[in-house]
């Protein structure tokens, strides 16, 4: 795999860091990008460069420096992401935009920069991090869920368009995993003490935090992505989740909406410690 160059975004923390390190352990040559890499942070086995996927100059500099170091990428992994927990009604537009800028426009902007390099090579692979929330909605993740649905739709279109150039697209759809940093899970300014959503928000976000704290092992996800990237062909979707989250996706598609929403609604109103 030493001749396979991977560029990965959002690699300073959580699943991006675990994936970057797993790829390096598996012999890929990894160039890792994140804003924290401009402040001295490192990812083991990777060449780390500063990268802000919401800033055109930063992305251009990353492409220049990564190309100079390792040459054009065989694989781009778009992992940078963030979450602002809030109620759909009261998200300030600035927060919705911030989440879309990072989770969706950031991926699209990196893809636009990398596609000409891959076309020139005549092959390439692009891995876009989505989420189970790219497939179904849960309360108080409206901004995030919208951004991940955008990633899903965009990636399906992209796959059809770039196949003739020998470029494959894979969506990674993780369920809850441990180690996502709380630093990237802000609460919306719209949730004030007198918000009509406050009680439901406190209950719901406690369930969300509990599920993530008890989520799957991020190292196993990294290893699974590395194994998949060694295969001759990529699946369109790599869903990496606990059985109950697989079942939730199936029920979402099978059950009448009202029944599914009743089940999900009561799940996020339960009391957890
Ligand atoms: N953890 C989970 O359970 C879970 C579940 C489903 C999907 N996901 C997806 O997996 C990915 C990683 O999430 P996570 O929770 O594991 O990680 P995380 O701990 O929340 O870390 C987020 C990463 O994104 C980077 N990032 C944020 N804004 C950025 C920007 N503007 N430019 C470049 N990098 C940026 C951060 O680095 P800097 O701050 O250093 O830039 C950090 O490395 C995300 O796409 C997320 O949606 C995670």
Q: What would the two tokens of residue 128 be?
A: 């876009």
Which residue among 130, 147, 188, 216 is the active-site one? 130
- The pTM of the full predicted model, rounded to 2 decimals, is 0.97
* pLDDT score of 103: 98
77 C-beta closer than 6 A to ligand 1: no
* pLDDT score of 179: 82
* pLDDT score of 9: 98
- For residue 55, give the ligand 1 atom closest to its CA: 31
Distance in angstroms (rounded) separating the CA atoms of residues 66 and 107: 17
* pLDDT score of 272: 79
Dihedral of alpha carbons 146, 141, 185, 251, sign: negative
**Alpha helix positions (H), the chain:** 14-25, 56-70, 93-100, 106-121, 142-162, 198-213, 218-229, 243-254, 257-267
| DSSP letter string, 251-271 | HHHHS-HHHHHHHHHHHTTS-
Q: Which fold has domain 5-197+216-243?
A: Rossmann fold (3.40.50)
Distance in angstroms (rounded) separating the CA atoms of residues 207 and 204: 5
* pLDDT score of 273: 67
Question: Which residue positions in the chain have pLDDT lower than 50?
Answer: none
* pLDDT score of 3: 85
Q: What would the two tokens of residue 52 be?
A: 């802000």
Query: How is residue 79 annotated by DSSP?
Result: -
How confident is the model over 209-255, as pLDDT tens digits?
999 999 999 999 999 999 999 999 999 999 999 999 999 999 999 99
Q: What would the two tokens of residue 8 be?
A: 């990965």
* pLDDT score of 181: 82
Q: How far is the CA of 166 from the centre of ligand 1 (A)?
A: 28
| 185-209: burial string, b at 16+ Cβ within 10 Å, e else | beebebbeeebebeebbebbbebbe
């Amino acid at each position: 795999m030493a001749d396979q160059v991977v560029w990965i975004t959002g690699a300073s923390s959580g699943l991006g860091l675990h994936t970057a390190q797993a790829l390096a352990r598996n012999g890929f040559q990894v160039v890792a990008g994140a804003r924290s890499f401009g402040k001295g942070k490192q990812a083991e086995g990777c060449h780390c460069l500063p990268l802000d996927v919401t800033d055109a100059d930063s992305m251009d500099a990353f492409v220049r420096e990564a190309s100079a170091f390792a040459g054009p990428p065989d694989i781009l992994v778009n992992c940078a992401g963030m979450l602002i927990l809030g109620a759909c009604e009261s998200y300030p537009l600035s927060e919705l935009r911030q989440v879309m800028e990072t989770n969706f426009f950031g991926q699209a902007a990196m893809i636009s920069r990398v596609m000409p390099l891959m076309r020139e090579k005549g092959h390439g692979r692009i891995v876009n991090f989505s989420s189970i929330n790219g497939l179904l909605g849960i309360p108080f993740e409206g901004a995030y869920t919208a951004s991940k649905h955008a990633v899903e739709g965009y990636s399906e279109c992209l796959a059809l368009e770039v196949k003739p150039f020998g470029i494959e697209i894979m969506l990674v759809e993780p369920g809850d995993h441990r180690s996502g940093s709380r630093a990237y899970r802000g609460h919306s300014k719209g949730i004030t003490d007198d918000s009509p959503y406050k009680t439901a928000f406190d209950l719901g976000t406690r369930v969300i935090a509990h599920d993530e704290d008890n989520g799957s092992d991020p190292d196993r996800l990294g290893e699974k992505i590395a194994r998949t990237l060694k295969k001759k062909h990529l699946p369109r979707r790599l869903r990496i989740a606990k059985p109950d989250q697989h079942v939730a996706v199936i029920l979402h598609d099978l059950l009448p909406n009202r029944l599914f929403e009743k089940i999900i609604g009561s799940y996020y109103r339960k009391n957890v410690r």
